[in-house]
Structure 1
């Protein structure tokens, strides 16, 4: 204890949990006042750390999307064609099961990461656990001997994936200044939109070696969380944060979503994402069947068309996020890029609808791919801005991500229902376009974000 005149000044140990908690609260308050300050430190982020965060967001998106798309967009539809008489129906069931698994895992583990008080941080442990679970079951999905196990293993792979995604996306709220969230979101969006077609391309090129494709898909998923932990600036210990109550009642209450009356923007963002993801999955999940059954190509030529589509999508995916993410940060606007993205996406879907040919599919890949790249580059930044640095960001973003999983679930179900009822895909294109436009209407209605 030191004396200074009549004032008493107490010296605490440098690692005192009380001091660290006060510093944390001061950093959050400073970040709310100044968009350039980090919620983690209350200071501007260094250039080297900004680069590390950007690379981590990009790499994470690439790695897990390569893994999931190799399996989901190509291997599963291909295997189901070999194993069952009605693969479209089983693909729809697989979409429902995997979406339910994703829905629960994202919400639960986002909340648990908020409550984790590890010396390794609150988010890092879950990135490691999720990568292991996701990688193992992604590999098992590809080599499963029957349709039932494909559905089960893929659902468990989605649990692993969402154990990672929920805490990872919360890093935008925890550690990234508001003025560069659009850029970081763009890095993540670019990674996922590049990784998706890369995964499809990988699997389509190894169409005669499903086992090797499955091994590679599992390794990409396994690497996603582990590599990111090695790249990203080390997460500080979370052991100084107040420990949540240990009773079950408090735990259950913590899963309660934000109140609708006080969070209209939150639910508009939720509805906008749900519509956009449903529109996206209605076409993407069935692109192999669209090329074979709607366009009329056999499996071999269809694989070549999908390979070219993947390359086109990968190229345009570099353009959208590179422009829209930084531009969103410079202008401070999140909603306009979403509107542009929806228009592009809807326009792209119209091409194979009116021109059922390989060229129509290539036009879809180029235009809709660009639109989805623009959308994914600002979507996460928009959602984090809606939360306003909430201390329950993991849980709240997990709830917002329910829109992703519900959209992913509804998309294949709606398409399967349309194909069953009408015998074709024409109406599916119409419904997908309407859903994309409706999503932009919800987003434009958000009032708390420009």
Structure 2
């Protein structure tokens, strides 16, 4: 009988392995977010404006909702399936590699059609590929990284996300008048992200000798049931994350429209401003991500950094609402970018701290990541509704209120400081 082995986090990683994880999380996040940001922040809104000039806002809102729903389903699905995978390549690796291929190809195809239905179909497929990578990668934080290094690792992922988002927006500005080549670049970036992670970090151990899982369809369905026992703090973290993401994506996904429709800035100047804002976000993210992650691990606190991040983001939403100028959007980029980077650096470490059952980390972290999806889905829907009812003056105060609500939920958590 073969010996059953599980891959558990070591008490201490070697310096080399630590940096391999750091760089894997960094480049994975930088590449997939860079590819997605090229599309989501600039090229997709502009593509819709070009192909459907009469109702692009409504289509954009519907697409955001559909793709967020696809992310919600796929995050939970692939997190759980990776928990149950018994491959000689490990539990997580096959999904990371396959997801990169699907995500990259479908992201390119999103820009290859003028029909809104086909655009929406391929964008949804892209979300399935993307989450087939993200859910297992995040679960690896629990599987393979010691507890006192998780915020630092999460910080490198947050840093990659921040830089990638800025890089993608800057790249997109060069393709504002020729979107198809931009979609190709975005697909390549996302397509190689999973491969980069797998090649850089230490090879995942075989999962072929792990205890088998129940294989019946009923057992599979039961495995998707959310945690209930000892899960109070788990759900508080879920709610805090949901409301924070609500506010952030209410503004983030509408930056181009805020500049053009709320502030009256023309198309080319808007793209230039967004590129400059992305540089500000990148610098703020560099400072916020690395500093907060290492500090959180050092002092052993998670709630204080995420609460401070929420407040910082709320102030960032206030400025363009009050001043309605180009500089106020740059201030938004600095404050919200810094706050989101601080939050992202500590967020995954906090989520792992509140897991009811580490053996189901892929599934439960997938559920927590649904909070991000809900925010991405509901935030843009709410923005679209508010713009229709009260204009953009109704959007900013709601985003600020959501940031305050997030702080309340985070501070109600008891199982971590």
What TM-score comes out, normalization by structure 1 length? Answer: 0.91
- Whether contact under 8 Å (1:141, 1:149) holds in the other structure is yes
CA distance in 2, matches of 1:167, 1:416: 32
Q: How does 1:164-313 map to 2 (within 5 A)?
A: 164-259=133-228, 262-313=230-281
Aligned to 2:93: 124
Q: Is the 8 A contact 1:272 1:439 kept in 2?
A: yes
SS, match of residue 135 in structure 2: helix
Report what 1:6 is aligned to.
Answer: none
User: Residues 10-409 of structure 1 correspond to what in structure 2 (within 5 A)?
Assistant: 17-18=2-3, 20-21=4-5, 24=6, 39-40=8-9, 42-84=10-52, 85-259=54-228, 262-387=230-355, 390-409=358-377
Quote how far apart the aligned CAs of 1:115 are. Answer: 0.3
1:45 Cα deviation after fit = 1.2
Render the CA deviation track for 1:319-349: whole Å, top value 9, x for unaligned: 0011100000000000100011011100011
2:395 to 428, 431, 436: 428
- CA–CA separation in structure 1 for the residues paired with 2:382 and 2:98: 33
Q: Deviations over 1:245-284 (max 9, x none)?
A: 111111000001001x521000001001111111111001
Q: RMSD value over aligned CA atoms?
A: 1.1
Structure 1 gap segments, 5+ residues each: 1-15, 28-38
What is the count of residue pairs matched by the alignment?
A: 416
Match of 1:446 among 407, 413, 416: 413
| CA positional deviation for 1:43 | 3.9
Take 2:388 and 2:192, find their aligned partners in 1: how far apart are those partners?
39
Deviation at 1:124, TM superposition (A): 0.3
Q: Distance in 1 between matches of 2:50 and 2:117?
A: 13
Q: Distance in 1 between matches of 2:84 and 2:336?
A: 39
Q: 1:156-186 deviations in whole A, cap 9, x for unaligned?
A: 1011000110111000100000000010000
Structure 1 residue 212: deviation in Å?
1.4
**What is the SS of the residue equivalent to 2:284?**
helix
CA contact (8 A) 1:269 1:446 kept: yes
Q: Following TM superposition, by how much is the alpha carbon of 1:439 offset from its aligned partner in structure 2, in angstroms? A: 0.9
SS in 1 for 2:86: coil
Q: CA deviation at 1:204?
A: 1.2
Q: In the TM superposition, what is the alpha-carbon distance from 1:17 to its structure 2 partner? A: 3.1
Cα deviation code 1:124-150 (max 9, x no counterpart) = 000011000000000011222222211
Q: Distance in 2 between matches of 1:142 and 1:310?
A: 22
Deviation, structure 1 residue 388: 6.2
CA distance, structure 1, for counterparts of residue 11 and residue 126 of structure 2: 38
CA contact (8 A) 1:174 1:389 kept: no
Separation of aligned partners in 2, 1:148 and 1:360: 36
What are the Cα deviations for residues 361-403 of structure 1, in whole angstroms up to 9, with x where unaligned? 1110011111111111100111011116611100000111111
> SS in structure 2 opposite 1:391?
helix
| Uncovered stretches (5+) of structure 2, i.e. residues with no partner | none
**Local SS of the residue matching 1:387:** coil
CA contact (8 A) 1:266 1:387 kept: yes
State the secondary structure of the residue aligned to 1:244.
coil
Q: Tell me by how many angstroms 1:240 deviates.
A: 1.1
Name which structure has the greater RCO, CA cutoff 8 Å, separation 6+: 2
Max radius of gyration: which structure? 1
Deviation at 1:227, TM superposition (A): 1.0
Q: Distance in 2 between matches of 1:262 and 1:254?
A: 17
